[in-house]
């Protein structure tokens, strides 16, 4: 009988151990833990700085050239790896990081928040996105890195190369959008899915820029790093502003 009782209590013990572990990782039940957000913010900004220095000193030139050429036919560098339908897919996926798509989604999201009378969340989202976009544009003017000239470009470009605006802005946009969205989602598993999907979309957009030959790999890596850093800072700002609001959920819920 004792063995039977122990068997029935094992799942309960496992759940209790999981709860204790979660409380140690995230004692205030924020999602994700503040330590993770601070780590992502600082790590992203530091990684961007390191890549920027490496690009300035020419340390990334060899790897950049190797990766770009690996994605093209050795006999014809104007022909990208893969069938025609894959090339077309890459062109369409890269549009998810373009300003027409991002502005359209932003306008729709901000309208929904305004209709919900959640002006604080709408202003916060707009501020984060506009600030990140201005940062990306300013850095391009500072570095003025030339676009790749090893392969034919499969997409039109109008600005300099470093950092990749598509990689950076898509990362900060989708993660910042997720940061606002998950504050209104009570279920933990759905929050994780939303953040994971936002991250995956940004990765696909950045990778497509290298595949299309319009960015050096180091441009994209720098854009991802800075985008993660900026989005994490926005998420932290949302948390601390919510804490200062005295419990009013002006930016949505921060509890899991």
- Residue 220: the pLDDT is 96
Q: Helix (H, G, I), strand (E, B), or coil: what is residue 4? A: helix
Whether residue 127 sits in one domain with residue 25: no
Q: What is the mean pLDDT of residues 33-59?
A: 93
Whether residue 125 sits in one domain with residue 18: no
CA torsion sign, 231 to 235 to 236 to 241? positive
Whether residue 83 sits in one domain with residue 26: no
Question: For the chain, how many structural domains are there in total?
Answer: 2
Please give the torsion angle defined by the CA atoms of residues 43, 41, 177 and 221, in that order, rounded to the nearest 10 degrees: -30
Q: What is the mean pLDDT of residues 17-45?
A: 65
Whether residue 206 sits in one domain with residue 94: yes
Whether residue 214 sits in one domain with residue 173: yes
Whether residue 127 sits in one domain with residue 64: yes
Residue 119's nearest CA partner among 245, 246, 255 is 245
Q: What is the mean pLDDT of residues 59-87?
A: 88
Distance CA 215, CA 90 (A): 14
Distance CA 31, CA 21 (A): 15
Residue 137's nearest CA partner among 110, 111, 105, 172 is 172
pLDDT in tens, 83-138: 889 999 999 999 999 989 999 998 998 888 888 887 777 877 888 888 888 998 89
Q: Is 118 left (phi over 0), alpha (psi -120 to 50) or beta?
A: beta
Distance CA 27, CA 16 (A): 15
Whether residue 173 sits in one domain with residue 134: yes
151 in a domain, yes or no? yes
155 in a domain, yes or no? yes
The rounded mean pLDDT for the chain is: 82
Whether residue 96 sits in one domain with residue 14: no
| Residue range(s) defining the domain that contains residue 12 | 1-30
Q: What is the mean pLDDT of residues 130-153?
A: 89
């Amino acid at each position: 009988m004792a063995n039977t009782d122990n068997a029935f209590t094992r799942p309960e013990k496992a759940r209790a151990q999981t709860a204790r572990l979660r409380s140690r990782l995230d004692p205030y039940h924020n999602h994700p833990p503040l330590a993770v957000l601070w780590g992502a913010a600082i790590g992203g900004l530091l990684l961007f700085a390191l890549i920027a220095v490496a690009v300035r000193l020419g340390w990334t030139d060899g790897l950049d050239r190797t990766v770009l050429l690996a994605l093209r036919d050795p006999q014809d560098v104007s022909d990208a790896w893969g069938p025609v339908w894959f090339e077309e897919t890459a062109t369409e996926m890269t549009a998810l990081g373009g300003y027409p798509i991002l502005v359209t989604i932003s306008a729709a999201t901000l309208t929904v928040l305004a209709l919900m009378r959640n002006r604080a969340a709408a202003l916060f989202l707009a501020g984060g996105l506009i600030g990140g976009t201005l940062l990306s544009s300013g850095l391009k003017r500072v570095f003025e890195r030339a676009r790749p000239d090893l392969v034919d470009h499969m997409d039109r470009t109008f600005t300099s190369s470093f950092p990749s605006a598509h990689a950076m802005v898509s990362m900060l946009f989708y993660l910042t959008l997720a940061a606002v969205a998950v504050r209104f989602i009570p279920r933990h598993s759905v929050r994780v899915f939303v953040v994971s999907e936002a991250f995956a979309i940004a990765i696909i957009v950045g990778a497509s820029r290298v595949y299309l030959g319009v960015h050096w790999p180091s441009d994209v890596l720098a854009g991802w790093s800075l985008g993660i850093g900026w989005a994490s800072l926005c998420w932290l700002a949302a948390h601390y502003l919510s804490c200062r609001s005295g419990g009013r959920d002006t930016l949505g819920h921060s509890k899991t």
